[in-house]
Structure 1
Amino acid sequence: MVRPFRTAFTGTDATRGDRVSTVAGTRWEQRDRQRLDILSAARQRLTDGGYAALTTPDIAADAGVSEDTIHVFFRGTEDLFATLLAQRLDDFHAEIAPACRVAETGDQVIATIATAYLDVYRVFGRELNIWSMVLGEHPSANDIARPLAGAAQRVLNTLGAALTRTAKRPVAPGEMQLALPFVWATVTGLAEHVTGGRQVLHPCNWEQLLDFTARTVIAGLDAMRTPEE
Structure 2
Amino acid sequence: MSMEKMFRMAAVTLLLALCVGCATSRSEIDVKVPSLELAANPEAGNGKKVYISAVDERVFEIKPDQADIPSLKNAETTDRSITERAVGRKRNGYGKALGDVLLPSGRTVSALVEESVASAYRQAGYDVVTEPNAAGATEVKVRVKEFWSWFSPGFFYVTVNNKSRLNIEAAGQPNMEIVTLKSDGMQAVTDSDWKAITEAGLKEIAQETANKL
Using the size of structure 2 for normalisation, the TM-score is 0.27
Q: Structure with the greater relative contact order (CA < 8 A, sep ≥ 6): 1 or 2?
A: 2
The structure in which a higher percent of residues are helix is 1
The structure in which a higher percent of residues are strand is 2
Larger radius of gyration between Structure 1 and Structure 2 = 1
